[in-house]
Chains A and B, each alone.
Chain A
Amino acid sequence: MDVYFDNSASTRVSEKAIEIMLKTMREDYANTSAKHIKGVDAEKYVKDVADIIAKTLKVKKSEIIFTSGGTESNNLAIIGTAMARKRYGNHIIISGIEHPAVYRPAEFLMEQGFEVTILPVNAEGAVDLEVLKSSLRDDTVLVSVMYVNNEIGAIEPVDEISRIIKAKNKDILFHVDAIQAYTKFKITPKTQGIDMLSASGHKFHGPKGVGFLYIDSSVKINPIIFGGGHQRGMRSGTLNTTGIAGMGVAAKEAYDDFEKKIKNIVDLKYYLMDNLEKIEGAVLNTKRGENFAPQIISVSFEDIRAEVLLHALEDRGIYVSSGSACSSNHPGISGTLKAIGLREDLLDSTIRISLSELNNREEADYFLKNLVELLPLLRKFVRK
């Protein structure tokens, strides 16, 4: 039995997405910029997908920029904002649990003379709003906080963050990395006060190599990739019709029957959490309730090396990821697990289970059965 519980890393591509992608490669393969009818046919996919995505976010389709994925979307939002607004100030705020695709660009800007403030988070991974308030300055140009943390699934108080920022100065831009949140939540940037929002196709059963950045039409940022002036100059490069078409189908599928899908995922998450809690020496870093995303469970096991457990599970056809602290070991910014104050001895003992609607109860049982078998075996061998 193969149990894929690593859906926050990547997902299986939907059959309908594969179908339409094949069609774009076999039939509608022309360059969307071409003047002939085949170019028009290809461009139609892009327009349709912009429309689908715009509808899911309740925004205008002209506000969607297609990119090569989440990392590029984040880079474009952060570096593009800094370049466009450096006249107004050089201060940027990010949270202490951002993905490298956010904190590395911020670090790059630091080398270019920008100042970066890193907000602390509480034990549940939520940013400290008081610190946010006191960190906002007259020269702050951008705040970037993720919607859902990729390691523990914590949801950030995006609406409150926006209110606080805009109360200080409505010109400060608010970027949200929603790579783990898009299709798991109904996000409406206009009502939530989000100026820019990043998403990635392969996190929701679309293909890899494609994503998008929503940019509010009132916001002007600079491009970071230059060339033929595609997408109104915001992102040059021949449009990835195939990837965009696949991502569009996946986004549509995700939001059709949304409530039912999310309920299934949450039910499965709680079922797993109920059983994980019963295991001796298991510490759940993900909590129940409104503050955590439906699909992610972070759990630590005392006296277990996460990587060893990962390989032992892999041996039985179960795939999870290890939420190792080392992967985000970085001066100034520690990994999420460190940031939430997880016990030192559990940092290397933490795995992440991430679900999709393709997972079911049977898989959860198979996983739990094997986990319960493996833990005592692995615990026999700890470093002495």
Chain B
Amino acid sequence: MKYKSFLIKYGEIGVKGKNRYMFEDALMKQIRTTLKEVEGKFIVSKELGRIYVDMEGEYDYDEVIDRLSKVFGIVGICPMVRIESKDYENLKKRVVEYVDEVYPDKNFTFKVDTRRADKSFPGTSESINAELGEVILNTFPEIKVNVRKPDVLIKVEIRTYINIYSVEIPGPGGMPIGTNGRAMLLLSGGIDSPVAGYMIAKRGVRVEAVYFHAPPYTSERAKIKVIELAQLVSKYTGPVNLHIINFTDIQLAIYENCPHDELTIIMRRYMMKIAEKIAVDNGDQALITGESIGQVASQTIQSLLTTDAAATLPVFRPLIGFDKQEIVEISEKIGTYETSIQPYEDCCTIFVAKHPVTRPVLEDIEKSEIKLEGIIEELIEKALETKERILVKA
């Protein structure tokens, strides 16, 4: 079946009262942005609490579905047949054609579910259900009716036009990007941070990212890997601004001046501070990290408290209560796992103490950081000045 239209179903945004149109417009914008990358002509329109995507000419069905199923805010994508004529006999004919084309194997049970929004259309919803059902049964004797648990529910919506559909491909849910502010993701090359970015973006937050590069301790390949991860995440979030900070001198200064068991925690505090500076400059309202309680020494509650204190913006940690396996599952689902596990990161381990503190006390850490005063300010300034920015698109 060559569909020429999709009905886009959306969930939460339907219940947002007066703000509803804003959410709908944001969703339509996201749909248009993602379909711009697909060959073909697509028209996205809105009508009475419904969003439609209409195609003109040839297009790649699988690619369109793949892209739409990554647009936050969409709950379901229904490929449908749209009939402009309201002639009843024609409707019967088209319903039969639809069933024949979409279900080559006729061994199933069905039910017709009509919504007669256009009250000028003759009959009642029930009478139309019965009549269309009868036509289908008469044409295809193998097909059976089951009104309680049908295999196939054929929806017929009589509105300005008539829509026929029975298939619903699930969307990712969530809210359209751009409807809930902006945040800065601390993106490493690992499994967690891309998932964290995905989860916050799912709530409609526009995400940008910062990566801390430490050549020669981290390789160029590690950086390329992070760019690839940002690209994978951007399939969901739309184009991502990726800021790359050269962190080597700051790391070395911490190494030379602070106790080694505190290296990681102090390093993370400076990452927070730098991320926050870039975030504030870009109008972001929060930071995002992939931390989960107790996963490593720097993610114990005490460590989280200590890194948290380095930032004034709220820090979102959507994975906080997740087990590693649960995070891996999401990363596999969203397609970042394979890239995350490429082994380009391990030469940075000299900055990880053999026995890092697991219960840092903020006052102690702050005392250690006093030793950096007079050095670190300039290094941060320089890191920000030499910052690289890449606009990453899928």
Return the chain A residue nearest B353 by Cβ.
Answer: A384
Which of A305, A308, A384 is close to B260, meaning CB atoms less than 8 Å apart?
A: A384
Cβ-defined contact, B216 with A382, below 8 A: no
- Chain B residues near A230 (CB, 8 Å)? none
B residues 349-366 with Cβ under 8 Å of A? 349-354
B219 within 8 A of A: yes
Q: Take A381-B252, A381-B255 as given contacts and tell me if A311 and B347 are in contact as well, using a CB distance cutoff of 8 Å.
A: yes
Main secondary structure of the interface of A (DSSP, over half): helix
* Also in contact, A311 and B216, with CB within 8 A (given A305-B347, A383-B352, A384-B354): yes
Contacting residues, chain B, for A380 (C-beta < 8 A) = 252, 256
Interface residues of B in 202-234 (CB under 8 A from A): 215-220
Given A380-B256, A381-B252, does the pair A315, B216 have CB atoms closer than 8 Å? Answer: yes
Within 8 A of A (CB), among B173-222: 215-220
Q: Is A27 an interface residue (CB 8 A)?
A: no
A308 & B350 in contact (Cβ 8 Å cutoff): yes
Which residues of the other chain, B, contact A383 by a CB distance below 8 angstroms? 349-354
Q: Report chain A residues within 8 Å CB of B255.
A: 381
Q: Which residue of A lies closest to B343 (CB)?
A: A326
Contacts of B347 in A (CB 8 A): 305, 307-308, 311
Q: Whole-angstrom distance between the alpha carbons of A381 and B255 in the complex?
A: 7
- Distance of A241 from chain B, by nearest CB (Å): 34
Contact with B along A342-384 (1 / 0, CB 8 A): 0000000000000000000000000000000000001011111
Interface residues on A, range: 10 to 19
Within 8 A of A (CB), among B256-301: 256, 260
Quick one: given A311-B220, A381-B252, are A305 and B215 in contact (CB under 8 Å)? no
Given contacts A311-B215, A315-B215, A381-B252, contact A305 B220 (CB under 8 A): no
CA of A225 to CA of B216, assembled, Å: 43
Chain B residue numbers with a CB within 8 Å of A314 are 216, 220
CA distance A180 to B123 in the complex (A): 85
Please tell me which one of the listed residues B220, B252, B346, B350 contacts residue A382 in the complex, with CB atoms under 8 A apart.
B350
A377 — nearest CB in chain B belongs to which residue? B252
How many Å lie between the Cα of A45 and that of B216 in the bound state? Answer: 46
Contacts of A312 in B (CB 8 A): 216
Distance, CA A178 to CA B313, complexed state (A): 61
Q: Fill in one digit per residue for A314-330: 1 if any B CB lies within 8 Å of its CB, else 0.
A: 11000000000000000
* Residue among A312, A314, A378, A384 facing the most chain B CB atoms (10 A cut-off): A384
Interface string of B352-387 (1 = CB under 8 A from A): 111000000000000000000000000000000000
* Contact partners of A309 in chain B: CB under 8 A: 216
**B256 and A308 within 8 A (CB):** no
Say whether, besides A380-B256, A381-B252, A381-B255, A305 and B350 are in contact (CB < 8 Å). Answer: yes
A and B contact pairs by CB, cutoff 8 A, 25 listed:
A305-B347, A305-B350, A307-B346, A307-B347, A308-B217, A308-B347, A309-B216, A310-B216, A311-B215, A311-B216, A311-B217, A311-B218, A311-B219, A311-B220, A311-B347, A312-B216, A315-B216, A380-B252, A380-B256, A381-B252, A381-B255, A382-B350, A383-B349, A383-B351, A383-B354
Knowing that A308-B350, A311-B217 are A-B contacts, what are 14 other residue pairs whose CB atoms are under 8 Å apart, sorted by A's residue number? A307-B346, A311-B218, A312-B216, A314-B216, A314-B220, A315-B216, A380-B252, A381-B351, A382-B350, A383-B349, A383-B351, A383-B352, A383-B354, A384-B353
